[in-house]
């Protein structure tokens, strides 16, 4: 076994009574660094989990892109823009939609809602209904369903809110509740309702017009709008789900840096503990250092022992902290034991996403800084004189 490593393992040995102080201080330094690395990896994983969960929910409901009129006017479906885009082999799924404001009434209760008419539900995992609409039934959010005290099969009255609406010319539509959806986002669950595309045209009294097109794709991201925008002519424009909800993600981005700094300082405290631990151990082992010098070992080689010592503490601290963070992430994703109020955070539990790249980055940086921090206290070795130390002992 390497001579330097033999010394390191001897100082770390918690069984030896002669090394009780050095081993205890080393274990505390490892524990401190483990907590710091655990906190930092977990923080990064939670931030990334929040982002991915919001991205998935919003893009699932809104679609990857929407094409609509820049002035908010209706789009003539006879333009057949969807057929044009499909013919370009862009690997997209495009659907027409109609969206408008309306009042929903049940008895003496009423709420303002947005009705969206589509031929296919955006994400079937949120919906307690078949993939395709059946007849003229209405699908509403769980929060709205509860607020109005509805049951599946109840009939409600829908009256559209139109421009220059005349109270004597309001059209009332009786529609059966066919199902509910629960996205976990109050913005949608309290205000959004779905009907078939043709039923939406009937409600808003439009025949050959639509609000626009919803585009989804397994091959494109929100950054790839340029591949489609070349075929979208004024006054139409294309907008991604990220563009419509930019404020939310800007807020997350603003919060990320101070959070990382705060939890990074916890890891830094653990590294400072290593520096202090090595300084105390060098002072404690000054007699042994003097003996090694008297036997002919160079000070540079003695320094390598304590540099390796700091590196080993850093390695074990980072490994234990990383392991516990990985286990916590797995357990939280499986059992969801840390919950959140869904009406505030858009999700009912803390989402954590294990990012291997972030994991490796934090691991390597922590070990590197641990090794570098060992350089400063080991400089005192060059000030130790073997004769004076041995005389004092």
* 261 pLDDT above the threshold of 70: yes
Q: pLDDT tens-digit profile of 366-383?
A: 888 888 888 888 888 877
**Lowest-confidence segment of 1-5, 24-28, 201-205, 326-330 by average pLDDT:** 1-5
Q: Which is more confidently placed, 266 or 22?
A: 266
Give the three-state DSSP class for 302.
Answer: helix
Q: pLDDT tens-digit profile of 171-204?
A: 789 999 988 998 888 888 999 999 999 999 999 9
Residue 270: the pLDDT is 84
Taking CA atoms, 377 is separated from 212, 274, 380, in Å, by 67, 10, 6
The pTM for the full model equals 0.80
What is the average pLDDT score of the chain? 85
* 15 pLDDT above the threshold of 60: no
* 82 pLDDT above the threshold of 90: no
Q: pLDDT tens-digit profile of 223-244?
A: 888 889 888 888 899 999 989 8
Residue 306: name the closest of 378, 385, 376 by CA.
378
* 24 pLDDT above the threshold of 70: yes
C-alpha span between 295 and 290 (Å, rounded): 9
Q: Which is more confidently placed, 377 or 168?
A: 377
Give the three-state DSSP class for 7.
Answer: helix
Residue 192: the pLDDT is 93
For 16-54, letters b (16+ CB in 10 Å) and e give eeebeebbebbeebbbbbbbbbbbbbbbbbbbbbbbebb
C-alpha span between 174 and 153 (Å, rounded): 12
216 DSSP β-pair partners = 93
Of the pLDDT bands very low, low, confident and very high (cuts 50, 70, 90), residue 247 is confident
**Lowest-confidence segment of 3-17, 25-39, 151-165, 282-296 by average pLDDT:** 3-17
Token readout for 189 is 């669950």
* 323 pLDDT above the threshold of 90: yes
Spell out the residues 6+ positions from residue 233 whose beta carbon is closer than 8 angstroms to its own.
none
Average pLDDT rounded to a whole number, residues 271-288? 83
Residues in the chain: 393
Q: State how beta strands 138-141 and 173-181 pair.
A: parallel
C-alpha span between 351 and 31 (Å, rounded): 26
C-alpha span between 213 and 195 (Å, rounded): 16
C-alpha span between 152 and 327 (Å, rounded): 42
C-alpha span between 327 and 32 (Å, rounded): 18
Of the pLDDT bands very low, low, confident and very high (cuts 50, 70, 90), residue 390 is low
Asked whether 140 and 147 are in contact (CB, 8 A), the reply is no
Residue 163: the pLDDT is 60
C-alpha span between 273 and 40 (Å, rounded): 17
Residue 34: the pLDDT is 93
Average pLDDT rounded to a whole number, residues 247-275? 85
Taking CA atoms, 320 is separated from 28, 36, 107, 307, 354, in Å, by 13, 11, 61, 20, 16
Average pLDDT rounded to a whole number, residues 336-351? 83
Of the pLDDT bands very low, low, confident and very high (cuts 50, 70, 90), residue 20 is low
Residue 111: the pLDDT is 93
Of the pLDDT bands very low, low, confident and very high (cuts 50, 70, 90), residue 320 is very high
C-alpha span between 307 and 228 (Å, rounded): 57
Residue 182: name the closest of 214, 220, 142, 215 by CA.
142
* 281 pLDDT above the threshold of 70: yes
CA 187 to chain CA centroid, Å, is 19
């Amino acid at each position: 076994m390497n001579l330097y490593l033999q010394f390191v393992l001897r100082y770390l040995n918690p069984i030896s009574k002669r090394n009780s102080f050095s081993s205890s201080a080393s274990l505390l330094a490892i524990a401190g660094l483990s907590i710091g690395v655990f906190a930092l990896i977990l923080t990064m994983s939670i931030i990334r989990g929040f982002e991915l969960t919001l991205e998935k929910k919003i893009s699932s409901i809104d679609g990857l892109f929407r094409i609509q009129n820049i002035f908010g006017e209706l789009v003539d479906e006879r333009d057949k823009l969807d057929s044009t885009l499909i013919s370009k082999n862009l690997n997209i799924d495009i659907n027409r939609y109609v969206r408008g404001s309306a009042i929903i009434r049940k008895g003496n209760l009423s709420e303002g809602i947005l009705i969206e008419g589509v031929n296919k539900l955006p994400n079937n995992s949120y919906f307690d209904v078949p993939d395709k609409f059946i007849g003229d039934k209405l699908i509403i959010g769980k929060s709205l369903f509860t607020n109005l005290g509805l049951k599946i099969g109840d009939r409600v009255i829908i009256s559209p809110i139109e421009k220059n609406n005349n109270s004597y010319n309001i059209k009332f539509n009786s529609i059966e509740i066919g199902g509910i959806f629960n996205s976990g986002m109050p913005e949608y669950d309290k205000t959004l309702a779905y009907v078939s595309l043709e039923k939406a045209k009937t409600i808003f009294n439009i025949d050959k017009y639509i609000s626009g097109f919803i585009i989804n794709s397994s091959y494109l991201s929100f950054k790839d709008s340029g591949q489609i925008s070349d075929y979208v002519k004024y006054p139409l424009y294309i907008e991604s789900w990220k563009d419509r909800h930019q404020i939310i993600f800007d807020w997350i981005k603003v919060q990320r840096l101070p959070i990382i700094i705060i939890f990074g300082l916890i890891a830094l405290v653990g590294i400072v503990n290593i520096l202090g631990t090595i300084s105390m151990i060098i002072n404690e082992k000054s007699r042994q250092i003097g003996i090694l010098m008297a036997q002919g070992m160079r000070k540079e080689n003695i320094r390598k022992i304590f540099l390796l010592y700091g590196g080993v503490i850093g390695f074990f601290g980072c490994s234990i902290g990383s392991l516990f963070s990985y286990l916590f992430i797995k357990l939280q994703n499986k059992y969801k034991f840390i919950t959140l109020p869904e009406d505030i955070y858009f999700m009912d539990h803390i989402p954590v996403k294990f990012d291997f790249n972030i994991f490796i980055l934090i691991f390597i940086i922590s070990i590197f800084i641990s090794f570098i921090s060992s350089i400063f206290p080991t400089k005192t070795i060059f000030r130790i004189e073997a004769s004076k130390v041995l005389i004092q002992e």
